[in-house]
């Protein structure tokens, strides 16, 4: 298997790590806020038909099987933000989700695959602010970070001061990652300075927590808008750019993801800073997981297959990955209900 264990200072295994990142032989730094360069946003051009062709051929030309497929699926688990963002969430559901995050695969699968030493966990658990403290307590000692959706999720339309205060409260409650959502009207109106100032304020409020900027790409109408918003978010200091809240009519797609990861690559070449990527919403199958992992490998290289730079926003996908791993071991697909998430 290609997945390597990650061990925290207290001996607990977890998935988030800081690694030296290089692109084309150049060692990259953690992203930091820099002055807004409107030329970079204005000069963006996207050939939509070319992007769509590239995304279509990406899925058609590659497949992985047997041990290689199993290894890629284990990598997908390590890069997963196990998420519950439902209106009927409860403390008990969050605790069950955290138990699954600690042990994402059933014991018999771990033993049959021979991966006990990996001490595999997911990348993070993502919840509403109201459940941050519950998740932090449930994950104590595991090293798994809690990510909180903040800043008026999912619409991003509450007053700025309230959104900033929510971030402060999530960090104080123990969240180590903050998933914020931008006000999409700034993109529609070409208000790039306002968008920059908004994300910069969120970044400052997050302090030491990792900031993931959700662009709501299904609402942005054009791939050029997606690219320009990506550039502004990265210049404002976002540690990750993320496709969707999961609440839009259209969420993560490969064409949108291709545009965003190429923005990340161009940004790294211009600034020497590494930004992570998180597709979220609508990713439910093991095959989709390998499609996105392959996209990251092709476009950005091996360093972007680590949880420090790549995450899936998903929950249902984990059950399908378990079913695929069981098929790999037994040649039979198990029933979905045998792989509960929460």
Q: Which residues are catalytic?
A: 179, 242, 278
Whole-number Å distance between alpha carbons of 2 and 274: 23
Contact (Cβ atoms closer than 8 angstroms) between residue 219 and residue 247: no
Contact (Cβ atoms closer than 8 angstroms) between residue 118 and residue 6: no
Q: Is the dihedral of CA 291, 179, 22, 6 positive or negative?
A: negative
Question: Within 13 Å, how many C-alpha atoms sit on residue 141's CB side?
Answer: 2
Residue 165 has a CB neighbour count (10 Å cut-off) of 15
Q: Quick one: CA torsion of 103, 107, 109, 112, rounded to 10 degrees?
A: 130
Nearest to 82 by CA among 169, 177, 214: 177
How many degrees, rounded to 5, is the angle at CA 278 between CA 88 and CA 283? 60
Query: How far does the chain reach from its first CA to its final CA, in angstroms?
Result: 27
Give per-residue burial for 309-327: e unless 16+ CB within 10 Å, then b: bbbbbbbebbbbbbbbbbe
């Amino acid at each position: 298997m290609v997945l390597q264990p990650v061990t925290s200072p207290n001996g607990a295994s977890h998935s988030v790590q800081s690694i030296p990142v290089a692109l084309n032989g150049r060692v990259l730094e953690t992203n930091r806020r820099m002055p807004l360069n409107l030329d970079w946003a204005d000069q963006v051009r996207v050939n939509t038909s070319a992007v769509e062709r590239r995304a279509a051929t990406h899925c058609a030309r590659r497949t992985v099987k047997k041990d290689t497929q199993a290894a890629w699926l284990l990598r997908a688990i390590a890069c997963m933000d196990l998420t519950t963002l439902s209106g009927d969430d409860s403390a008990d559901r969050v605790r069950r989700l955290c138990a699954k995050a600690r042990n994402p695969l059933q014991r018999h699968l771990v033993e049959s695959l021979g991966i006990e030493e990996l001490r595999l966990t997911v990348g993070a658990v993502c919840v509403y602010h109201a459940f941050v403290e519950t998740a932090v307590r449930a994950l104590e000692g595991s090293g798994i970070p809690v990510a909180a959706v903040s800043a008026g999720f999912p619409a991003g339309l509450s007053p700025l001061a309230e959104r900033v205060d929510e971030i402060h409260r999530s960090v104080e409650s123990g969240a180590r990652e903050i998933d914020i959502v931008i006000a999409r009207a700034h993109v529609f109106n070409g208000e790039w300075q306002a968008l920059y100032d908004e994300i910069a304020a969120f970044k400052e409020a997050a302090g030491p927590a990792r900031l993931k900027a959700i662009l709501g790409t299904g609402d942005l109408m054009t791939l050029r808008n997606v690219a320009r918003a990506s550039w502004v978010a990265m210049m404002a200091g976002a540690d990750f750019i993320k496709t969707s809240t999961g609440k839009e009519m259209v969420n993560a797609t490969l064409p949108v993801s291709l545009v965003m990861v190429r923005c990340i690559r161009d940004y790294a070449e211009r600034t020497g800073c590494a930004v992570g990527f998180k597709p979220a919403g609508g990713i439910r199958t093991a095959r989709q997981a390998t499609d996105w992992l392959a996209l990251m490998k092709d476009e950005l290289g091996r360093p972007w297959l680590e949880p420090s730079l790549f995450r899936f926003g998903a929950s249902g996908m984990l059950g399908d990955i378990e079913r695929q791993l069981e098929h790999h071991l037994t040649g039979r697909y198990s029933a979905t209900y045998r792989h509960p998430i929460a």
